[in-house]
Structure 1
Amino acid sequence: MNRSSMPVENQGDIELCLFIEPYCEDYWMKPGEALTVRSEAEGIDVWFDTYVSKGCVTVWLYEDGDPHKIVGDYAVLDASGNRLESGHQRPQGQRWSAAGPIID
Structure 2
Amino acid sequence: MGRNSMPVENRGDTELCLFIEPYCEDYWMGPGETLTVRSEAEGVDVWFDTHVSKGCITVWLYEDGDPYKIVGDYAVVDASGTRLDSGHQRPRGQRWSAAGPIID
Unpaired segments of 5 or more residues in structure 2? none
CA distance in 2, matches of 1:44, 1:75: 14
Determine the C-alpha separation between the residues in 1 that align with 2:96 and 2:88. Answer: 16
1:40 and 1:24 mapped to 2: Cα distance? 18
Deviation at 1:3, TM superposition (A): 1.3
In the TM superposition, structure 1's runs of 4+ consecutive aligned residues that sit over 3 Å from their partners are none
Tell me the residue number matched to 1:50.
50
Shift of 1:44: 1.0
Give identity over the alignment, percent.
86
Distance, in Å, in 1 between the alignment partners of 2:3 and 2:16 is 23
- Other structure's SS at 1:86 match: coil
Q: TM-score, normalised by structure 1?
A: 0.98
Shift of 1:65: 0.1
CA distance in 2, matches of 1:95, 1:61: 25
Equivalent position amino acid for 1:71 in 2: V
Aligned positions of 1:1-104 closer than 5 A: 3-104=3-104
Matched AA of 2:77: L
User: How many matched pairs?
Assistant: 103
Segments of 5+ residues of structure 1 without an aligned counterpart are none
Shift of 1:37: 0.1
